[in-house]
Amino acid sequence: MKELSKAYNPQEFEADIYRLWEEQDLFNPDTTHPDGEPYSILMPPPNVTGVLHLGHALENALMDIMTRYQRLQGKRTLLLPGTDHAAVATQAKVERLLVEKGIKNPREEFGRQKLLQEIRTYAEESKSTILSQIRKMGTSCDWSRLAYTFDAERSEAVNEVFYRMYHDGLIYKGYRVVNWSVKGQSTCSDDELVHIEREAKLYTFKYSDDLPFAISTTRPETKLGDTAIAVNPNDERYKKYIGENFIVDVGAIKPLKLKVIADENIDPEFGTGAVGVTPAHSPIDFEMYEKQKADGNPIDLISVIGPDGQMTAEAGPDYHGLDVLAARQKFITWLKDNDLFISEEEISQNVGTSDRFGDVVEALPMTQWFVDVNAVIPNRGKSLKLLMKEAVTTGLDGDKKKVVRVTPKRFEKLYFNWIDNLRDWCISRQIWWGHRIPVWYCRDCQESVVSDAKQCTIILQRHGEADSNANDYLNSDVSKVNNRLTEKGRKQVLAAVKKMPQINAIYSSDMERAKETAEIFAEKLKLEIEYDDRLREVGVGDFEGSPDVGDGFNQTRAKFSAWHHDNPHGIESFDELKTRVFASLTDIAFEHPGETVLVVTHGDIARTAQGLHENISDEDIFHLSYPDTGESFEIKITPVTCECGSHDVYQDEYTLDTWFSSGLWPFSTLGWPNNSHDLKDFFPTSWMQMGYEIIFFWMARMILMSSYTLNEIPFKDVYIHGMLRDEKGQKFSKSAGNGIDPVEIAEKYGTDALRLSLISGVTPGNDSRFYLEKVESNRNFINKLWNISRYIFMSSKAKYSDSVPSHSAADDWILSRLNRVIDAVNQLFADYNFSQAAELLREFTRDDFADWYLEIAKVEKKKDDILIYILNNLLRLWHPFIPFVTEAIWRSMGEKSSVMVSSWPKVKSAIVDQEFEAAFAVIPEAITKIRNVRAEYRIDPGKKIPLRINSNAKETMLADNLEIVKALARLDSIEFVSAKPDRSASVVIGPIELYIPLAEVIDIDQEKERLSKELEDIKKYVNSVKKKLDNKSFVDNAPKSVVAGEQVKYEEAEQKMILLHKQLEELK
RNA sequence: GGGCAAUUAGCUCAGUUGGUUAGAGCGCAUCAUUGACGUUGAUGAGGUCAGAAGUUCGACUCUUCUAUUGCCCACCA
């Protein structure tokens, strides 16, 4: 047995222990419990937008506690780690950082490839930080199964699901009013809106004098696009006009034709009871537009606001180019000038803002991709909406086994409410960081193709610096110059090799400088090189060997039209260049679907490939920047063949909502769409935890995707946790400046203390507070456990054995307690009540074990085996909560394998004896009462005093365990007496009377007061119980056991009362 | 506008099908401490369970209403 160091210093062992677990592959269920019953938890993937915060730390603690608990039960437990590319969140973040660095418009200045490269670099960095932080939290996840929502496997799943939904008619492209963030230049879904309340003005006016209506609006500028007036069909004032058309001229490009339409939802009481209908800029009005169209009574749709947030030409020459606020003022002025303005009124209104970009969104009509939540799924007879509902109510198709249990249950209501109000989900985004929509358009026949082909990731690597770069001359003819890499160039390549991800194949231009570069890669990556002359640098014609100055090569090309189709000065035409690059890369993609390929090539070729990939104009391609020598960027090409046979397709440039890929997480991480073992074994997953703020975003989407794709629920149980708040109850946020770095806390107090603090006080679904005092007290507690162990190791030489003989009442007591605690902890785990489980363990460890049993053990001696036994059990019970310290102590105990793969203690019910425990309680009670008297009379704690016991207690538990009382209450003599000695303090415990003869210190008055006070208390109690028992209806109606219990209480209390009374009498 | 949650000791919170003399931790007070642990121990003070009504033999617990706080949802233009 190793001695534990004197102080508990988590910094000394936590990192080593985690490394050891990893080295022994203990997080991998296939290593530890290959034959156990599968149990799986998926980590909600943190966004790669920054660093781990306290909320993540809480989630890690919760998941890991559950994982370690299940693993100790012998289950084949998988906790699968991963991260989320978080499309818009990440791009918004990186753009913000770039703007801070002085780049005003990153998208314009960088272009797609370069910005994506920036984002990717940021994301990868953030990812590796987060992963190391997860390790720091002690999370026992299986790193061999690490996933990323944006990696090749997950992309494959995304495309496959899109493909299926499209062919099932659940995904459609439609012209609809969507939420548009002008600042982010992208759509967002309804769920991504954050509603804020703000003051606004409600204006009332007429379109023209001829019109019998006045209308009210908060957005006068949109009225330039009005095409109807809606009234309630039962509104007597306006009924007669329904169906009529009015022509008004409010200054738009042409006069507006306004049809009066009826709509039930119009409130006749609000405003004037007539509503100007702007189908293009209001989702509700758009619905009216759709309805009118469906009814064969179409109205127009005029878009007067553009994606740039400015008025369009449709709005008329007076307004065109103005931003909305300026247009509003101008329109109001016009109304006033023409005596059409009636009134304005301050109202408060709710507006939707973009959760990532923060601006108020505009409603704009656009062509976007949607998931239809109401359409009937072929062969299923029900809609996605219905599937989502079934999964939480009856189970899918009524199968009770396919039902998600939500803890706490009240969140189900929230979920249903959301489903009921759900509209079609807009899944296309105009940002670049994300999964491209897997739709291709054919350049030959103009048709679109939705393909489930696996995309090939191509890393375009420019060769390292060559002689031509260093000495500035052009070289594209392999036969003319032997242009090799410089020393610097080779170094660049070696550096690039280190950064290279897993590669399946290498292709290279056959020019010397590329060849040389490729060879370095090939050697290091142990791959063969395929040479392709179509990857050669652009042909420079007559400029071969000369520096590119004056009227040289690039000047010639700058006159774009001159070499577009032709070959001025013998240079390669752009058409020829594009054709060979496209053909080469397409061939590669078809050769390596689903793989990552390194293509070593030249600057101009890389840029041309990039341009082709982005589907931008030839001239724009020419103006793209090169990658630097030795640098690379990646593009993804999916080998798609159009129905017409052409490979000449380009992909839709929109990307998918990030929640589309997150929704697939429960199965995409387990190998779907491939028929993997993991999918069979671990899906549906067993348990999932998440914060209530992502129930709509994530839980709902996972249920949608799983029930659609696999006709299964994604998880059997979902545990909803609350948010962490600071000590004042405020949210943690950067802007509030109250952020706490979990890693810093872990470093200072130890991860174990952090974990315990995070979950303490946490109940399902409720917010909890986090503050340093909590961490400190938990650290102190762990230190206590450390010292308990240290003491036991110092005093005991025993080895753990699964069964230990009991030598005394105290032994029986502690063993019974232990088993009862194990039982209770199991129950608390079953209810996901982690905080209480830890609380219970803490109580047992500190109060029962350390404060009582260890002290008793010092008196009774020879308890080595029991001490070790209990400690061993305790370490296993504590391990899910505080994995590091339990492992450290476990190893010191001489155990060879890890505590994390030992076994969860079994309840030995034969040992549990609650009655005996209750009987034993007299001993601590007696000791406490005596200590109490000592404290009251200020007796020096070191001084030993005598004790007399009324002899009627001779045959009790107390009489059998006097040695314990003697030592712990610091007594020098104990005798049984038949009468109370003179001048002594007395206490009553049930039927037992204890006397403490203290002639020299005793104060009769003080003693009288003390006893009187106690007598008063007990009298009150006796009376209340008596009243109850005298109440006939109580005796008649209450269950017998309750009445009997009250009777016992009464008798005991009464006896105590009599004894106290007697003692008080004796004092007089 | 609709909904959800919370309200228990100075602070943070338990209290799981109605029966407890309503608990814990921190803080506070008093005392102790060469001892496994001062990152400690012993002892104590402190609450009409937000308010009102109701159901019941019995309410912190169930019902209704009220108040305060927080959160979520929502197409009064």
pLDDT in tens, A848-906: 999 999 999 999 888 899 999 999 999 999 999 999 999 999 999 888 899 999 999 99
Name the nucleotide nearest A836; use CA and C1': B14
Domains of chain A by start residue, with CATH: 177-366 (3.90.740.10), 439-651 (3.40.50.1240), 768-912 (1.10.730.10), 918-1002 (3.30.2320), 1006-1067 (1.10.287)
The whole-number average pLDDT for the span A101-123 is 92
How would you classify the pairing of strands A715-721 and A405-407? Answer: parallel
* Digit-coded pLDDT (tens) for A453-471: 888 999 999 999 999 999 9
* Digit-coded pLDDT (tens) for A135-175: 999 999 999 999 999 998 999 999 999 999 999 999 999 99
Whether pLDDT at A3 is above 80: no
Q: Of A14, A221, A516, A537, which residue is the catalytic one?
A: A537
* Digit-coded pLDDT (tens) for A1005-1040: 888 888 888 888 888 888 888 888 888 888 888 888
Whether pLDDT at A421 is above 60: yes
Closest CA to A878 of A896, A855, A852, A904: A904
Q: A271 and A205 in contact (C-beta within 8 Å)?
A: no
- SS3 of A626, please? coil
- A767/B50 CA-to-C1' distance in Å: 20
pTM for the predicted model, two decimal places: 0.91
CA–CA gap between residue A836 and residue A829 (Å, rounded): 9
Residue A224 is predicted with a pLDDT of 94
Burial A525-562 (b: 16+ CB within 10 A, else e): eeeebebbebbbbbbbbebbeeeeeeebbeebbeeeee
The whole-number average pLDDT for the span A666-694 is 94
Q: A591 and A451 in contact (C-beta within 8 Å)?
A: no
Residue A304 is predicted with a pLDDT of 95
The whole-number average pLDDT for the span A246-254 is 91
Whether pLDDT at A574 is above 60: yes
Residue A1008 is predicted with a pLDDT of 84
Q: Of A53, A463, A592, A602, which residue is the catalytic one?
A: A463
Q: A666 and A460 in contact (C-beta within 8 Å)?
A: no
CA–CA gap between residue A925 and residue A621 (Å, rounded): 87
Whether pLDDT at A271 is above 60: yes
Residue A2 is predicted with a pLDDT of 63
Whether pLDDT at A443 is above 70: yes
CA–CA gap between residue A38 and residue A677 (Å, rounded): 12
- A766/B64 CA-to-C1' distance in Å: 26
Q: Is residue A463 among the annotated active site residues? A: yes
Q: Is residue A537 among the annotated active site residues? A: yes
Residue A744 is predicted with a pLDDT of 93
Q: Which strand B bases fall within 7 angstroms of a protein CB? A: 3-6, 11-16, 19, 21, 24-26, 30-33, 36-37, 39-44, 56-58, 72-77
Q: Which residue is nearest nucleotide B36, judged by alpha carbon to C1' distance?
A: A791
Whether pLDDT at A378 is above 80: yes
Residue A210 is predicted with a pLDDT of 84
CA–CA gap between residue A383 and residue A816 (Å, rounded): 55
Residue A1 is predicted with a pLDDT of 55
Residue A261 is predicted with a pLDDT of 93
Closest CA to A287 of A177, A213, A190, A205: A177
- A667/B3 CA-to-C1' distance in Å: 33
* Digit-coded pLDDT (tens) for A808-845: 999 999 999 999 999 989 988 988 889 989 989 999 99
* Digit-coded pLDDT (tens) for A602-620: 999 999 998 888 888 888 8
A138-142, A270-274, A317-321, A704-708: segment of lowest average pLDDT: A270-274
* Digit-coded pLDDT (tens) for A836-847: 899 899 999 999
Q: Could you tell me the CA-to-CA distances from A543 to A243, A472, A477, A607, A933 in Å, in that order?
A: 74, 12, 10, 20, 107
Residue A480 is predicted with a pLDDT of 84
Q: A1063 and A1007 in contact (C-beta within 8 Å)?
A: no
Give every CB contact of residue A980 below 8 A, 6+ residues apart in sequence: A948, A950, A986, A993, A995, A1063, A1066
Whether pLDDT at A501 is above 60: yes
Amino acid at residue number A517: T
Strand partners, A371: A171, A425
The whole-number average pLDDT for the span A110-134 is 93
A478-487, A596-605, A676-685: segment of lowest average pLDDT: A478-487
Residue A1068 is predicted with a pLDDT of 66
Q: Could you tell me the CA-to-CA distances from A264 to A261, A275, A288, A565, A1055 in Å, in that order?
A: 10, 12, 11, 62, 77
Average pLDDT, chain A: 91
* Digit-coded pLDDT (tens) for A284-336: 999 999 999 998 989 999 999 999 999 999 999 999 999 999 999 999 999 99
- A150/B71 CA-to-C1' distance in Å: 33
Judge if the upstream peptide bond of residue A408 is cis by omega within 30 degrees of 0.
yes
Q: How many CA atoms lie within 13 A of A402 on its CB side?
A: 18
Give every CB contact of residue A833 below 8 A, 6+ residues apart in sequence: A763, A764
Per the listing, tokens 């390194």 go with A598
Give every CB contact of residue A472 below 8 A, 6+ residues apart in sequence: A547, A548
Name the nucleotide nearest A935; use CA and C1': B43
Q: Which residue is nearest nucleotide B39, judged by alpha carbon to C1' distance?
A: A780
